[in-house]
Amino acid sequence: MSSPKKCKLPLTSADSAEAEVFSLSASPAALAAVAKKLRRHIVTMTGKAGSGHPGGSLSAVEIVTALYFKMMRHKPGDPRWPDRDRFILSKGHAAPVLYAALAECGYFPADQLLTLRQMDSLLQGHTDCNLTPGVEMSAGALGQGLSFALGVALAGRLDKKDYRVYALLGDGECDEGQVWEAAMASAHFKADNLVAIIDNNGQQIDGWNRDVMNLEPFPDKWRAFGWQTIEVDGHNFSQLTQAFKKAKQIKGQPTVIIAHTVKGKGVSFMENNPDFHGAAPNAIEVELALKELE
Ligand SMILES: Cc1ncc(C[n+]2csc(CCOP(=O)(O)OP(=O)(O)O)c2C)c(N)n1
């Protein structure tokens, strides 16, 4: 694989190639403190950019925090470390939550977050794996991430690596037929090193899923496709951690974690408000949101 274009940045923290920021012993309280920082970053960076997708970034904060700060094996100083666990953000419009986590881990300095969506920024509106250290897949066209993740999982098996692959999908994204082709193939190939997490916030670009395209009975569909299916409160670190640990024990089939979340979580006027799917908060709204996130 060729090396990323603009990866040689001074790192703010974790500046050794050996550094590992994840910690299996991280407590829910410690994770909650990280989550709050990520939320502040999401609000601030989208506000500064004047565009972006805050709603579906805020709903995924605990999922991403639990993975990067507790569950995943990774080295911010060595983004292409061959043994790293992989996180694939299939819902690429939620790039702000991934960028916030990568910055807090030390993949690049946090002040870069304020360049979101600018020309020549490391941080484009949708993810670019050739540009941003720590980003595994260029995404934005929905529906592709689970297929990509399955490929990475099967490559790991061929290479006799024990890394695990985590793919985060939106629930609205599951309207895409390719998701179900990948689901069928993952079970067929018994990809037990693959975990799909669905950010099940109930909404998509045009409003509630139940009005746009009903997904139910959603857990039954995953079971029928051959997946170990776990449902959790996607804002509860204990439940998320337990689910990720359980997934590690499952042999012979992939696991999906359906994480029930709230779009815009953590900012009262953004919660369940489809207006903030793809619109940034204005300056007054940023101020109000940051007050709520003190
Ligand atoms: C193939 C494709 N079709 C349409 C879009 C436009 N689009 C961007 S976000 C979105 C809604 C996604 O909903 P969901 O996956 O539930 O994301 P979340 O609500 O968590 O932000 C759509 C339709 C896209 N990015 N890709």
Residue 23 covered by a domain: no
Taking CA atoms only, the protein residue closest to ligand 1 atom 10 is 205
Residue 280 covered by a domain: yes
Q: CA 74 from chain center: how many Å?
A: 15
Q: Tell which atom from ligand 1 comes closest to the C-alpha of 203.
A: 19
Residue 11 covered by a domain: no
Residue 15 covered by a domain: no
Q: Tell which atom from ligand 1 comes closest to the C-alpha of 173.
A: 15
Distance 208 CA to ligand 1 centre (A): 12
CATH of the domain at 160: 3.40.50.970
Q: Which of 169, 201, 205 to mutate to test the pocket of ligand 1 (most atoms within 8 A of CB)?
A: 205
Q: Give the C-alpha separation, 266 to 34, whole Å.
A: 13
CB 2 within 8 A of CB 211: no
Residue 189 covered by a domain: yes
pLDDT digits (tens, 9 = 90+) for 76-116: 999 999 999 999 999 999 999 999 999 999 999 999 999 99
- How would you class 236 by CB atoms within 10 Å of its CB: exposed for 0-12, middle for 13-18, buried for 19 or more? middle
Q: How many domains does the chain have?
A: 1
pLDDT in tens, the chain (294 residues): 333 333 333 333 344 444 555 676 789 999 999 999 999 999 999 999 999 999 999 999 999 999 999 999 999 999 999 999 999 999 999 999 999 999 999 999 999 999 999 999 999 999 999 999 999 999 999 999 999 999 999 999 999 999 999 999 999 999 999 999 999 999 999 999 999 999 999 999 999 999 999 999 999 999 999 999 999 999 999 999 999 999 999 999 999 999 999 999 999 999 999 999 999 999 999 999 999 999
> Does 54 sit behind a cis peptide bond, omega within 30 degrees of 0 on the bond before it?
no
Q: Tell which atom from ligand 1 comes closest to the C-alpha of 278.
A: 9
Residue 245 covered by a domain: yes
pTM for the whole structure = 0.94
Residue 6 covered by a domain: no
CB 187 within 8 A of CB 222: no
Full domain range(s) for residue 209: 28-292
Closest C-alpha to 61, from 39, 44, 45? 39
Ligand 1 within 6 A of 90 CB?
Answer: no
